Amino acid sequence: MNKRVDIPSNGFAHDEIDQNNSGNETFQHVLQARLSRRGLLRGGVGTAATAVMGSLGLSACGGGNNDNDAAFVEKPSYFSKLGFAAVPKSLADLVAVPAGYTASVIYALGDPLNASTPAYKNDGSEADFDNRAGDHHDGMEYFGLNVSGTERQDNSSNRGLLVMNHEAITDQFLHVAGTTSGTRPASESYKEITAHGISIVEVARSNAGVFTTNNSSAFNRRITPLTPVTLSGPVKGNALVKTLYSKDGTAARGTINNCGTGVTPWGTYLSGEENWAGYFGRVISDNTARGGATARSVVSLNRYGRAVSATAGAASRHGWETSGTDDIYKRWNISQTGSSTDGTDDYRNELNTFGYIVEVDPYDKTAAVRKRTALGRFAHESASFATPVEGKPLVVYMGDDSQGEYMYKFVSATNWSAADAAASNRIAVGDKYLDSGKLYVAKFAADGSGSWIELNISNSAIAAYASYKFADQADVLVNARLAADAVGATKMDRPEWCAVHPQTGEVYYTLTNNSNRKIDATSAQFVVDAPNPRAYQDAKIGGSLGSAGNINGHIIRTKDTGANPAATSFNWDVYLFGAEAGADASKINLSALTNDQDFSSPDGIWFSKKTGLCFIQTDDGAYTDVTNCMMLIGVAGKVGDGAKATLSYTKADGSALSVDTYVGAKPAADQLRRFLVGPKDCEITGCTETPDGRALFVNIQHPGETITKANIGDSSKFLSHWPGSIGFGAGGALARPRSATVVITKNDGGLIGS
């Protein structure tokens, strides 16, 4: 077979070479390329011509594909180089993409999810977020629908469901005159609560190749912090999760601070609960009520960020607990207020019902939303599956995003049966694979190796841990951070998302930054080590100094031994060190990033199944004097493709400190390029594609989030007006900024990245 057809080739497919660098293609050119490709797939141009003309008639020149052309849609076309021109760094209040690409807004904060809900006025007046897009769009996945929009069809690129997280809120913009401080009016709290959670919204591609949402789809819905969910796995029914809401500890209410995502092999959505702890408050006397500072529940609360001091309680983020006696507000106060011994008369255990990977069946509104407790409780980001292998366990990689936290993986007890991929009761399949298994934490060695340590109560380091007496295996999962402490896991520079390279199976973890990574560290800080080797100071425009530590972050990657994702050992190196292009190449810019490639604070990371390209998104506060947050695309190599490097430091006492690390191959100009720069004061997050690789969905989170109540009435003080300023929705040039989903297509209909 001609090796220029659209099959894995470690190079551009034929049509991508032809369409590259040629500006906007004529329809005839695209047609010829498709005739060539499809004809070859089917054994000859002549025999396929009629059928191909039919399918192109449906999709015109916008990059659409016949939904029935599964053989074409599912074939990867792995790229060995990038074909677009890098987007310059920018401080403009716009989404910039390369020449030849178009980015269009399709779904922003407040957009209606049904036909009876009016358009968003974007003036803070709406209250009905149960029927509207939530705020702070984050991780996102695409689930295909058949042509008639009635059921799951994984290979469909023309119609599907976008499922996305709404991580948090820019609260001032949700209200007409900003927030009320002190005692929060219930109406404000209710609005803020329901602007969190998850959206499911149908999208479809027109014959002209334009994506829009379908706001009358029967699949559209919101999941919020008030939606009933069930606890599943080993923690279900445990004493640690009994609350006034669920006295038998089997259920919980809603999900919050949903950040990264995952897709299961059976077609469901996974959502990671990240910074959930801060929404809950504790009064200063709560330690005493719980039995003193050494009480087990107090040790746990301290480890998960809800410590009270001698002089102050732990304040909740939004004060929702002040909004009255209704249970939906009371629950945000997790102080022990009742007299029961088991916590079923208050919300002292409420915090233990958050911090999980949550599974949602996007195709079935009636299916239970499950919290998968076997995957551990921490500040979850993404949940990325190793490629499933028949008869082998499923493996899910995960990170815990806080300074000095850990990298984890889950290995299912049940071996994979490919027949389950198409099962109709998808949540039952989730029960089969995600409720029982082993949870491991990563421990790195300085020689480039590492081990996965199982978090099991039978491990003597856990059973005999002096700082916390674990009651049972459910306790180990609820307090996974404490168990990981007990086994000496490696403290990392904030593990954010992780993603599995579809060709190599290697796992890429973003370590976003760590201002507490030091050369000379106190007990509350972290000393530079091989996998987290940098500590340096940011230089700002104008000559002042910014933060110190590992301020730009890095992307570490692991290769499980024997190409077996369930292995308990691995090798590692650093794919990329974030840095400014002009920074010291011996200490900071170790990956030799150029002006077309430099970035800071990697957060989202995702691989295209179609092209194998690596998408890197930033959530930065260090390089933002020079550029807004961005997305880059890379052709990722493999562990060991670079070289060892030695970083030399001088400690405060004058002694020398040297740290060896492993730097991946320095990216050539066509191996890593900036693809997108977002509007002002935003984060770029969430990345998913249509199965044909020709439409990419990306979220712009919290543009212009820096706003005070005092300035809410003065639009000249808003840092961003996007996307109203480009004509999307109400408000025009002076609009309140809105988090939003953009869809990116290549003007010639080509693959993203070509």
In angstroms, the CA 444 to CA 452 distance is 9
Amino acid at 425: N
- Binding to ligand FEO (CB under 6 A) within 469-498 occurs at 496
Cβ atoms of residues 97 and 744 within 8 Å = yes
Answer yes or no whether residue 681 interacts with Ca ion by CB under 5 A.
no
420 binds Ca ion (CB under 5 A): no
Residue 493 binding Ca ion, by CB under 5 A = no
- Quickly tell me which residue has 């994984």 as its tokens: 154
Letter for the amino acid at 74? E
Q: Kindly tell me which residue out of 381, 400, 538, 681 binds ligand FEO, with binding defined by CB under 6 A.
A: 381
**What does 192 interact with, of ligand FEO, Ca ion, none (CB < 5 to 8 A by kind)?**
none
Nearest distance in Å: CB 364, ligand FEO? 27
CA angle 64, 145, 742 (to 5 degrees): 60
Q: What is the DSSP string of 224-278?
A: -TTSEEEEESTTTT-GGG--SS-TTS-EEE---SEEEEEE-TTS-EEEEE-S-GG
Q: Pick the closer one to ligand FEO by CB: 163 or 203.
A: 163
Residues 223-262 that bind ligand FEO (CB under 6 A): 259
Using alpha carbons, list the distances in angstroms from residue 225 to 274, 353, 538: 13, 12, 38
By CB under 6 A, is residue 16 in contact with ligand FEO?
A: no
Q: Mind giving me the DSSP string for 505-555?
A: --EEEEE--BTTEESS--TTSEE--SSS---EEEEPTTS-EEEEEB-S-EE
Burial of 327 (0-12, 13-18, 19+ CB in 10 A): exposed
630: left (phi over 0), alpha (psi -120 to 50) or beta: beta
Q: Which CB atom, from 234 or from 686, has the smaller least distance to Ca ion?
A: 686
If binding is defined by CB under 6 A, does position 401 make contact with ligand FEO? yes
**Residues β-bridged to residue 430:** none
Stretch that binds Ca ion, among 121-129, 409-417, 681-689, 724-732 (CB under 5 A): 681-689
Shortest gap between Cβ of 699 and ligand FEO (angstroms)? 11
Q: Which of 346, 361, 619, 692 binds Ca ion (CB under 5 A)?
A: 619
Select from ligand FEO, Ca ion, none the partner in contact with residue 538, using the beta carbon and a kind-dependent cut-off of 5 to 8 Å. Answer: Ca ion
Among 141, 286, 431, 603, binds Ca ion (CB under 5 A): 603
Q: Is 689 in the site for ligand FEO (CB under 6 A)?
A: no
Residue 135 interacting with ligand FEO (CB under 6 A): no
Looking at the Cβ atoms of 475 and 620, the one nearer to ligand FEO is 620
274 binds ligand FEO (CB under 6 A): yes
Pick from 69, 111, 141, 167 the residue near ligand FEO by CB under 6 A.
167
- Could you tell me how many residues of this chain bind Ca ion (CB under 5 A)? 4
Could you say whether residue 620 binds Ca ion (CB under 5 A)? no
* Minimum separation from the CB atom of position 486 to ligand FEO (A): 24
The rounded distance, in Å, linking the Cα atoms of 633 and 579 is: 16
Measured from the CB of residue 98, what is the shortest distance to ligand FEO in angstroms?
Answer: 26
Q: How far apart are CA 368 and CA 425, in angstroms?
A: 11
| Residue 16 interacts with Ca ion (CB under 5 A): yes or no | no
Residue 748 interacting entry, from ligand FEO, Ca ion, none, C-beta within 5 to 8 Å by type: none
Positive/negative CA dihedral, 105, 108, 114, 118: negative
- Residues with Cβ < 8 Å from 376, sequence gap 6 or more? 356, 398, 408, 410, 439, 455, 477, 480
Instruction: Check residue 603 for interaction with ligand FEO (CB under 6 A).
Output: yes
By C-beta, is 597 or 618 nearer to ligand FEO? 618
Nearest-Å Rg of the Cα atoms of the chain is 25
Nearest-approach distance from CB 499 to ligand FEO, in angstroms: 14
59 or 512: CB nearest ligand FEO: 512
> Does residue 538 interact with Ca ion by CB under 5 A?
yes
571 binds, among Ca ion, ligand FEO, none (CB under 5 to 8 A by kind): none
Rounded Cα distance between 154 and 389, Å, is 19
Question: Quick one: how far is CA 467 from the chain centroid?
Answer: 32
**For binding to Ca ion (CB under 5 A), which residues are involved?**
538, 603, 619, 685
Question: Which residues of the chain form contacts with ligand FEO (CB under 6 A)?
Answer: 167, 259, 274, 381, 401, 496, 603
